Structure 1
């Protein structure tokens, strides 16, 4: 019942209206803020980076316009159809119909629906703006612009590609044709095939299907459905689709003796279907229903084509099984040629490594070592893990940094490990202080590098290598998570250590743009300009400004490392280009990878300099478009640059297969190599055969894939010095060589089986065996293996326990030498190889066993004319340990003798001719009993002798 109280409690009649307006206003404000923020960021990018930012944007727009136009623009101005506008028309009509009207009555035929000419033209332009972003292909845009500048990408030879499946190649001419087409096949063809396929799907497939459906609905209302007409349209759609599939088969990664039949059968089937469609279209003017016989004929024709093609392929395969070389050989030769081009394998120099095991006369060992002192002093003893563990404690109490990476560098022919760091927010920072600390305090790393000599393991003062150690642009941590800023009129600094940034990185942002960029600035700095530094992660920075290159390969970021010109410090980033080759015949899907050059990114300013290196078609293209940014590699970088490990490993993987150039051997597949498991490329100072002095090289060992043994087939090196940067050489062991070159797994077993090392391993208690790197020292191939007392995962600083030199040449016996230094280890190896082991060959050789070491100690005491007494137990209230030492190796003997002699002279000889000796666990105790003020005291020393 209506009452005054009901009236009072009811909502105002316009409340819903105000709520709707409020919601619309909120949505509008949110959209305005988002659009405004993105607009400010775009403006800041253009102001800070200039054409470095706008150039990729320009190429993106060019590609979006070109590819979206091909895919989406309808040029049929006569019919002027549009699926989108037709759907809107149908929905409006459906909503406006009465409840008693059937649906079919309100759905007009798509065939009869047309836009007006202005609306049709505007809609084609609108589609490009609406959907162009989905078609961005920056490499395609770059290639289009370069072609406009009258530069050819090999498209003139594209017609020759369509002959390749139908002509059996007799030499490598077919492969050379493909090689000339690789620029077009990698950059232009894939996106064009994609957008043409989309166009066919939209304007041939979807348009025609909708036309059939709506025509059927309309014709049904008239009582005259034209089924034969519908069937003819469907036949045309399928026929065109099959023909398009056949055309795509020309752009495949593999062509063989059956490809011609597959393509031919596919094209014939498509053409026949189109012929049936035309025939049925003509008959549909008279007939409305298809004849069953005609349907059977069409199906049987397609089945017959499939059976004929399948039978021919089966017969070919059967013949090829017995005449494989004749049938498959010509195509295999093309595959080898194409992939050798992709991997640049023709540039790899192959050397025969005739492995020999020749001993050096004991009288000449010292001089032999002196002759090879240059390489022995360059041996890399400290590996990545040990260096990382030793450098980690040097971070100290700085909770705002963490290690990011550890890179091997070379300065003045010396190898160093350089650990770079990243800023992190300390866990103790409270939530309310997080924004302030992220953006204003932890803006950089004050001392961003720690260095370690890779040979001696000594920490190096990084200031001697890097004059500029403040990192404002780096990798990971806060660099990748956020930006930093400071007010331009500041007198004091909130940055770490009160640093006042004075570089060129970043941009000044004035109100009100600063408010839109970060609303907090509206309250904190309402009238002041703010200097903002963004894209501080160098990977993000490079991807934003130079998105043409690969910054992640094979599942991990491309490695970059610090270099210096003596004043400034830079990140050296390899500029690697990569393309899929799925459209390149005989490529087998192996990618096209090339080193275009390098980028120097200033760690303080973020400034980027591009360095020239490559000379392939893309390198020339990018260098033309950025002619004012590319410069020659400076001379100061000549001894710091190194060839990218990712490319070196990939090229070696390609070489593993395509070093086999004989088609018969390739088909037999018993000469393929592989990189041993868990082995990565080592960067070292070495002197392989043919080199007059030590060189900075990358090294990878290779072994046969099918071999049951674990011997090396050889090893690959890559040079890092300019001007021979990137030159690769393979040192191949002849398959019939009587002396083998053992691999990493076998050398590890050889070390484990060595008697001296087995004893030392027990004494060192769970040591970690480091990298086993193969070196050529004189005429000897030797693995140098460091053994550490603690691993990085134990929370203990790694220490070097010993160094093993294991002979890589094997003729039935392993030769192992141990030493405190690489020189001592190599000397011990040479003595063992010569069959003579002097008592002082190596100070690190283990004494034969525990009993022998105890007997040696007894001899030291007996030389003092003392009687050794071995009590069963000692129970004296007062005991004093006067010294403690370990006697595990021969190098410990002198110190043990000195301690023993001192104890005997100070505590025994003045008072007694007897000395006590007893064992307590791993220790041998030597003592004497003294009476002082009528109190009996036991004084002793403890010598660790092992179990």
Structure 2
């Protein structure tokens, strides 16, 4: 039979498309291989590749065999149906002679056992290939099962190690799903074949009257119900992740009703399979229908109705007494899952007021109070330090350094290259791939550093980096960061732009080895195909010594190496002692299979450990993984799967270990869980008698959730200042503060969680209560309102609650931003202590207003870095009126009122507030005179 030209063309197009797809896939695979070799993690690539495709091939072959076997079992019936079928006799009519010609065509002769086998084989191959995709990404569960590690803790119901639920159960569930789907699909194909071949002898309604179909489909049904029996067995373990009771995990109805139902259904399902098999010999197929129907009815009654009855009539009338043991399980295992059982609880006395001596004794804490929030600071950094349109500060990060012998908390940002901000004319292939290849430098300022103009006081700034401290940056080039999304080529015949210099530019050549060598002409062609970049192949600027820098965005680079880990949302840069810039990033091991533990996200993950600290060199892209929690069984399992990948934390360079910090994402999860799970008594927990909530604060004009914050302070009972992460707690439906949590980050104390609880009978101001006091203070609120109407806007920063000795100091910065220039300036600092609340241009002045002259700085020293000295127009203390008579006092009051109005019009808010204070003193004198 001749094929039409259209058919031949379509076949050719399909063949070419498939071939090009395979070539592209192969080129991409080769590129990945080269890249993994470059980053020295080829072992991970090989393990993932062999596991993924090995598993898919295995499953595809197994399914291919099952489909082919089942189809071959139908071949005899198909051939019998072919022989019994009538020949097909199409006819044709001659339009001129009105003659009808009958064409005798015996199609049965074309269906032979050999051809039928070929067709069945082709169908099985296609279905095996398609079915293999169902295990895509499941390789990690298989490898975790084969390399599992015991947790050393058993669940409270089945007494199985937690590792069974984390490693074994997901694997068993995978096998169950694969087998169940395979049986169902095979039954479907077999039924279709029998339906088609027997349609001439009865059709669909009579298919089960034919012996071959009955035996075949009955055998598949028996296998399915035997498998279903195992499925009910697995469902028993899933009860420990139930969310239908008083708490997460198996409750009273689950254990006393649903568990019993699953046990019974396990037996009934196995009996159903046996009945089906026996009936193959007894040929009483109606019993098979009864058995299946009975199992269906039993599953509805036992699995649905019975547990609901128990819940409604046994549990609900006496819920706590029924659920108490399971609530205790939930509390215990949730605390273990989030490492909350090791939280150290301490009392924090309330009612004590800070003194001037407390401030003087805690200068390290005062000097490190963060007056800059990342949001306004990022805008200010952008205006002052981006230098060119193509540079950007992606994020503002917080860290601490020993600078000139002082332990200081700083804020810093990397100056990265954003090629999208190049002018349209400059966005050429040469510029984007060969010239503008990297960012440059870093900006850093102390958290309390403020100039007299209200701008950050830089410790590192400009291009090239300039500093007056002992900090050094020897490698300011940023090839790997948070903005570097595209690939570039280095060591080409074209010089790279390094940084702007006067009226021109400075150029450089890459000296690292973090890229893929272009090498031969063939490799260049393959890379061009893999990147779908024909200009790479055609350009003469790229030679064999050039390098391809790929996956330069660290949030893409690291997960490509280790996709089985979860990652913190905030990697942060560190300047090493050698002057290099290295990114530090926290990684987590998580699972959603920890029995009885309350989930923390919408993927139902209910276990987390900060098991890995990793580093990424900003210049050459080197990635290193360090085990931060060697006790975690999941990271132990990953270490078995990928030997040599994870190094002990002790091998991390000492200068980087000094910058390790407790990760904020983990801390927020633990703090959120602790709002409920600090209650260990089941009765108290059930009634939510002591539920805490995460606090809120005011940012701008909106009330929003309060962020945890890093600070340097001396914890109660300690002697040295240390870097900690803090969040306060408030009671449910109240705004006062009930406790605060701290995570320690320094030295041997790293990772320790502390809870300081206030006496419940004492009032300790919460964040929103302080915000309310600010809004209700007549002087502060008037100044903010007026300031917000004069061509500028006021930005309220984060409210920080700083523990000092056994007391608290509240600090909130205010920023002024002009409508014409998006460059916020720090103009006021609000400080509250006890019943006093003040607003001054600097933190030192505010402390002086509350605690007295000279408290804001150490006597005999210069002002602390980042503070402003008072000017003549900004007296620090109100002048006490000396007038004695009522007339003199009235004149003085009138003068002070006019002075206050003049200062208000000139924008002198501190002077305005002080004039009002003086006016209040005069009015008090007038009242005394009147009496």
Q: TM-score, normalised by structure 2?
A: 0.74
User: How far, CA to CA, are the matches of 1:723 and 1:349 in structure 2?
Assistant: 15
2:796 and 2:815 in contact (8 A); partners too = yes
Q: Does 1:386 align with 2:376?
A: yes
Instruction: Give the gaps of 5 or more residues in structure 2.
Output: 91-106, 242-248, 451-456, 500-505, 529-533, 697-704, 854-871, 882-889, 916-931
Which residue of 1 is the match for residue 655 of structure 2?
A: 636
Which residue of 2 is the match for residue 784 of structure 1?
A: 811
Which residue of 1 is the match for residue 895 of structure 2?
A: 855
Matches within 5 A, 1:504-515: 504-510=513-519, 511-515=521-525
User: How far, CA to CA, are the matches of 1:279 and 1:271 in structure 2?
Assistant: 12
Which residue of 2 is the match for residue 522 of structure 1?
A: 537
Which residue of 2 is the match for residue 542 of structure 1?
A: 558
Which residue of 2 is the match for residue 330 of structure 1?
A: 325
Deviation at residue 740 of structure 1 after TM alignment: 1.4
User: How far, CA to CA, are the matches of 2:264 and 2:108 in structure 1?
Assistant: 42
Matches within 5 A, 1:558-569: 558-569=570-581
Which residue of 2 is the match for residue 135 of structure 1?
A: 136
C-alpha change, 1:239 and 1:491, in structure 2 (3 Å) is closer
- Please, which of 571, 575, 579 is the counterpart of residue 591 of structure 2? 579
Which residue of 2 is the match for residue 611 of structure 1?
A: 626
Which residue of 1 is the match for residue 489 of structure 2?
A: 485
2:849 and 2:876 in contact (8 A); partners too = no
Q: Does 1:264 align with 2:243?
A: no
Deviates more, 1:507-516 or 1:351-360: 351-360
Deviation at residue 669 of structure 1 after TM alignment: 1.8
- Please, which of 805, 821, 825 is the counterpart of residue 795 of structure 1? 821
Which residue of 1 is the match for residue 799 of structure 2?
A: 772
C-alpha change, 1:26 and 1:561, in structure 2 (3 Å) is same
- Please, which of 165, 176, 192 is the counterpart of residue 196 of structure 1? 176
Deviation at residue 575 of structure 1 after TM alignment: 2.2
- Please, which of 695, 707, 711 is the counterpart of residue 684 of structure 1? 711
Matches within 5 A, 1:178-189: 181-189=161-169
User: How far, CA to CA, are the matches of 2:552 and 2:564 in structure 1?
Assistant: 19
User: How far, CA to CA, are the matches of 1:114 and 1:587 in structure 2?
Assistant: 56
C-alpha change, 1:281 and 1:603, in structure 2 (3 Å) is closer
User: How far, CA to CA, are the matches of 1:124 and 1:710 in structure 2?
Assistant: 66
Which residue of 1 is the match for residue 850 of structure 2?
A: 829
C-alpha change, 1:796 and 1:852, in structure 2 (3 Å) is farther
C-alpha change, 1:853 and 1:352, in structure 2 (3 Å) is same
- Please, which of 435, 438, 455 is the counterpart of residue 429 of structure 2? 435
Q: Does 1:211 align with 2:207?
A: no
Which residue of 2 is the match for residue 61 of structure 1?
A: 50
Q: Deviation digits for residues 36-61 of structure 1, max 9, x if unmatched?
A: 532541342254234x0332431452
Matches within 5 A, 1:83-94: none
Deviation at residue 342 of structure 1 after TM alignment: 0.6
User: How far, CA to CA, are the matches of 1:234 and 1:85 in structure 2?
Assistant: 13
User: How far, CA to CA, are the matches of 2:852 and 2:497 in structure 1?
Assistant: 63
- Please, which of 672, 675, 698 is the counterpart of residue 656 of structure 1? 675
Matches within 5 A, 1:261-410: 261-269=257-265, 271-272=267-268, 275-276=271-272, 278-279=274-275, 282-283=278-279, 290=286, 299=293, 303=297, 306-307=300-301, 310-311=305-306, 314-315=309-310, 317-358=312-353, 360=355, 365=356, 367-395=357-385, 397-410=387-400
Deviation at residue 720 of structure 1 after TM alignment: 1.2
User: How far, CA to CA, are the matches of 1:649 and 1:745 in structure 2?
Assistant: 19
User: How far, CA to CA, are the matches of 2:15 and 2:279 in structure 1?
Assistant: 61
Deviation at residue 698 of structure 1 after TM alignment: 0.5
Deviation at residue 704 of structure 1 after TM alignment: 2.1
User: How far, CA to CA, are the matches of 2:139 and 2:284 in structure 1?
Assistant: 51
1:340 and 1:346 in contact (8 A); partners too = yes
Q: Does 1:80 align with 2:91?
A: no
C-alpha change, 1:129 and 1:527, in structure 2 (3 Å) is farther
Q: Deviation digits for residues 776-830 of structure 1, max 9, x if unmatched?
A: 2344312111122228x863432222222113x5xxxx42133333233234334
Deviates more, 1:206-215 or 1:410-419: 206-215
Which residue of 2 is the match for residue 750 of structure 1?
A: 773
Deviation at residue 499 of structure 1 after TM alignment: 1.5
User: How far, CA to CA, are the matches of 2:7 and 2:614 in structure 1?
Assistant: 59
C-alpha change, 1:274 and 1:634, in structure 2 (3 Å) is closer
Q: Deviation digits for residues 415-450 of structure 1, max 9, x if unmatched?
A: 211122332225564479521111011100122x21
Deviates more, 1:465-474 or 1:299-308: 299-308
User: How far, CA to CA, are the matches of 1:312 and 1:24 in structure 2?
Assistant: 56
Q: Deviation digits for residues 266-323 of structure 1, max 9, x if unmatched?
A: 44346435535644665566767738xx967975675467446634652454333344
User: How far, CA to CA, are the matches of 2:659 and 2:560 in structure 1?
Assistant: 26
User: How far, CA to CA, are the matches of 1:122 and 1:14 in structure 2?
Assistant: 25
Q: Does 1:740 align with 2:763?
A: yes
Deviation at residue 535 of structure 1 after TM alignment: 1.5
- Please, which of 440, 448, 459 is the counterpart of residue 455 of structure 1? 448
User: How far, CA to CA, are the matches of 1:843 and 1:536 in structure 2?
Assistant: 53
C-alpha change, 1:85 and 1:476, in structure 2 (3 Å) is farther
SS, match of residue 347 in structure 1: coil
Which structure: larger Rg? Answer: 1
Deviates more, 1:769-778 or 1:585-594: 585-594
C-alpha change, 1:187 and 1:698, in structure 2 (3 Å) is same
1:71 and 1:195 in contact (8 A); partners too = no
Deviation at residue 202 of structure 1 after TM alignment: 0.9
User: How far, CA to CA, are the matches of 1:444 and 1:84 in structure 2?
Assistant: 65
SS, match of residue 517 in structure 2: strand
User: How far, CA to CA, are the matches of 2:65 and 2:16 in structure 1?
Assistant: 43
Matches within 5 A, 1:847-926: 855-856=895-896, 888-890=909-911
Deviation at residue 748 of structure 1 after TM alignment: 0.4
Aligned residues: 794
SS, match of residue 290 in structure 1: helix
C-alpha change, 1:70 and 1:663, in structure 2 (3 Å) is farther
Deviation at residue 845 of structure 1 after TM alignment: 6.9
- Please, which of 575, 582, 595 is the counterpart of residue 570 of structure 1? 582
User: How far, CA to CA, are the matches of 2:511 and 2:752 in structure 1?
Assistant: 41
Deviates more, 1:644-653 or 1:459-468: 459-468
C-alpha change, 1:854 and 1:328, in structure 2 (3 Å) is same
Instruction: Give the gaps of 5 or more residues in structure 1.
Output: 1-12, 166-173, 833-839, 861-883, 895-947
User: How far, CA to CA, are the matches of 1:215 and 1:84 in structure 2?
Assistant: 11
User: How far, CA to CA, are the matches of 1:114 and 1:686 in structure 2?
Assistant: 81
2:358 and 2:804 in contact (8 A); partners too = no
Deviation at residue 674 of structure 1 after TM alignment: 1.9
Q: TM-score, normalised by structure 1?
A: 0.73
